[in-house]
Amino acid sequence: MPRLVNPAAVAAATLVALLGTGAFVLHATAADPATTGTPAGGQPALTVQVVRPEPADLPQSVTAGGSLHAWQEASIGAEGAGWRLAEVRAEVGDRVRRGQVLAVFASDLAEADLAQTRATVAEAEAALAEAAANAQRARDLAPSGALSAQQITQFETAERTARARLEAQQAAARVQQLRLAQTRVVAPDDGIVSSRTATVGAVVPAGQELFRLIRQGRLEWRAEVAETDLGAIRPGMPVRIEPAGGGAVDGRVRALAPTVDPATRNGIVFVDLPSPGAAKAGMFARGSFETGRSRGLTLPQGAVQLRDGFAVVFRVGADGRVAQTKVQTGRRVGDRIEIRGGLEAGTPVVASGVAFLADGDLVRVVDGAPAAPRAQ
């Protein structure tokens, strides 16, 4: 007679067997981390390279802002009155040389006046020649008594009068020559034409400006420096200037204004820019005056991140975990930044990729270049 199997007993035995097997698998997994390739301490968030703050000589500087202006401007105007502009030979932006003709007035009237004056000079020369000959004959006859002393004096007076008239006419001719020269408007110096109001056909009064010239093409930066920093700036000091929309330009301090604006408490520092490059007058620019050098701890800028308004770095501990640390930063030179507080010299910190880290993350440190951050 066959034995009856209790179904409940079979189910209980099967459950015990399964639980035993699961416990064995779990125990084996926990006991041997190598079976999955995960370190016992957890999976690293990032593979990083570490750096340590290094001392370096850093420049001390004063920063300021200000506008670019022409070093000197020459105003070129009409010297004669009531003349008509016949020709304009220069435009805004042209580089011109000293003595170069910029515009020409109609010279017909001046040439006619000069010709008339020259004819008067020739007439005065002839009159002087006749008067001089008469005076000489009178002096020759004086010993014979043919002429009285009064007559001789009259001939000599006529000679002196003729000579004076000739000199007056010669002076008038020089005036007319100057008037004729004024029909040609010339550049008083080398430079760049910055404005032009001259128009062909216009009749302009004496003294009206026709052109404005930036002398020698030189610009200057008028930096507004706080009164507390003026004492550190000296004439001849080198300056690095960065105009808005242009490349950096080197300059040199020419002079400091003798007064300070009582409203802004800023003083003006005049900086010569012998080679302004692409910079233009009227541009705004920022610049720095190097006032000296001092020692300081530095880190690569990639090791420092701004979080919640604070500069932070990630110190790497002996256990491979990072600790977020606030630091005080200072000067920036190239790709390095000064650390003024919050970090001791020789402390290892993460060199780059800090944006992918959080306080307490585990990292893997390598000697070579840090690996690219893994997507989280």
Share of the chain above pLDDT 90, in %: 44
Range of the domain at 160: 78-196
Residue 30 counted as domain residue = no
164 and 84 in a common domain: yes
Place of tokens 């919640």: 308
Last residue of a domain, one of 130, 161, 196: 196
285 and 231 in a common domain: yes
335 and 280 in a common domain: no
333-355 mean pLDDT: 88
Query: What is the number of structural domains in the chain?
Result: 3
130-137 mean pLDDT: 90
- Cβ neighbours around 263 below 10 Å, total: 6
pTM for this predicted structure: 0.58
CATH number assigned to the domain comprising residue 350: 2.40.420.20
191 and 95 in a common domain: yes
Give me the phi and psi of 49, to 5 degrees please: -115, 140
Which of the four pLDDT bands, split at 50, 70 and 90, describes residue 65?
very high
pLDDT at 32 over 70: no
305 and 273 in a common domain: no
Q: Which residues contact 297 (CB under 8 A, 6 or more apart)?
A: 53, 54, 55, 56, 338, 339, 340, 343, 345
Residue 134 counted as domain residue = yes
Q: Which residue has the higher pLDDT, 27 or 106?
A: 106
Residue 4 counted as domain residue = no
Contact 202, 86 (CB under 8 A): no
96 and 166 in a common domain: yes
157 and 84 in a common domain: yes
